[in-house]
Amino acid sequence: MFPGRSLTSHIVGLTKMWDRVLTQANMAGVTPHDLRRTFMTTCCELGQPPAIADTLLGHSLGKIRDTYLHLDPEGILATASQETADWIAAAMAGQKVKPGVKVAKLEKTEAGTA
């Protein structure tokens, strides 16, 4: 179901694949948890409540809050996720972004890159 380096092999583990991604992205030493922490921090800095960021990351919210809070993936969750992704993409593209300040969505160029 998940091909390895070639279509005739399969993924044996994520470690080598993760290392290749980091090498190609020039991000040595970054862990998946670092990415989750960055997403959570950026989402909250952009003004989203921690409950929104928790939900986007799949965290349990707590029994009482779960009783009253039912977030629709098409509403505020989609907005929060997109705004956070846009900010991180702009930062990675070299734009001078400011913590807590939303950015315009990057437009794709003809070559398909932002």
pLDDT in tens, 37-67: 888 889 888 888 888 888 888 887 655 555 5
Give the residue-averaged pLDDT of 85-114: 78
Please state, rounded to an integer, the average pLDDT across all residues of the chain: 79
Pairwise CA distance, residues 91 & 103, whole Å: 10
Residue 25 lies in a domain: no
Residue 43 lies in a domain: yes
Residue 22 lies in a domain: no
Residue 110, pLDDT above cutoff 50: no
Q: What is the pTM of this model?
A: 0.56
The number of domains in the chain is 1
Q: What pLDDT does 95 receive?
A: 92
Residue 11 lies in a domain: no
Residue 18 lies in a domain: no
Residue appearing with tokens 């505020």:
76
Domain range for 94 is 31-114
